[in-house]
Amino acid sequence: MTIIKRGKFLTVEGTEGVGKTTNIAFIKTWLERNGIEYVATREPGGTPLAEEVRALLLAPRAEKVQENAELLLVFAARAQHLAQVIEPALAQGKWVLCDRFTDATYAYQGGGRQMEKSTIATLENLVQKSLRPDAVILLDIPVQLGLERARGRGELDRFEQEDIAFFERVRAAYRERAGANRHYRIVDASQTLEQVQAALETHLNQLLQETL
Ligand code: Z5A
């Protein structure tokens, strides 16, 4: 009987305009260069149902979205995504590269919306059981610089319409978690793209060494 070694679960996080999309493309090429089978996905989203929930979450609307409603929608999408995509891929030995995960909930709902961390932790335990990312890459950038990069992109979604104080709280929450969790790797994303990607490659190579 062949025993399949479980894959690694890698997530990429950061505030607005930090360059997640750009750097996820770089991580994909690194995975391919190293012959690692992977599934790339995102949150909220990653399955047809979870993508519908994403559209509900991001759409600007006149009705105030209650904080608990937002939090439950995030975890509803996550439950679906975990069962349909993340868990099966890890069980098949594939790596999962996910654009945001529960650290974003601690940052946006916990930091940005100032919800209780213990409430988030309750849902995290319910939905994920013991599953946590093996590594979280935090692309960190001063909020103002990120907003300048991001806001060249046209129409703003419901989160992007928040004020700078909201994003300062989001960044502070990410940095606090990074200080308290060993599986975080912080990259200074205010550097040039070449410097950011050199730092990313160092972290990825270390992660690969740890898994051998
Ligand atoms: N959300 C939540 O509230 N709770 C949760 O649990 C989860 C999510 C999971 C959607 O996320 C929203 O969901 C998110 C939080 C909430 N809202 N916000 N805000 P998303 O990840 O889909 O949305 P996003 O944050 O807007 O990410 P994005 O569209 O993927 O953008 P990005 O990755 O940050 O940036 P980019 O498009 O790669 O780069 C921006 C520009 O900067 C672009 O022109 C690049 O060419 C440029 N760039 C990138 N790097 C550099 C460097 N190093 N130098 C110069 N220029 C650069």
C-alpha 18 to ligand 1 mean position (Å): 6
- Of the pLDDT bands very low, low, confident and very high (cuts 50, 70, 90), residue 1 is confident
C-alpha 7 to ligand 1 mean position (Å): 25
Q: Which two tokens stand for residue 55?
A: 């559209």
pLDDT in tens, 138-181: 999 999 999 988 877 778 899 999 999 999 999 999 999 999 99
Q: What is the pLDDT of residue 154?
A: 77
Q: What is the pLDDT of residue 69?
A: 98
Residue 160 CB less than 6 A away from ligand 1: yes
Residues 184 and 138: their CA atoms lie apart, in Å, by 7
Q: Which residues contact 86 (CB under 8 A, 6 or more apart)?
A: 9, 39, 41, 46, 96, 98, 131
Q: Which residues contact 182 (CB under 8 A, 6 or more apart)?
A: none
| 65 neighbors 158 (Cβ within 8 angstroms) | yes
pLDDT in tens, 47-93: 999 999 999 999 999 999 999 999 999 999 999 999 999 999 999 99
Atom of ligand 1 nearest to the CA of 105: 6
Helix (H) or strand (E) holding 140: strand 135-140
Please state, rounded to an integer, the average pLDDT across all residues of the chain.
Answer: 96
Mean pLDDT of 24-49: 98
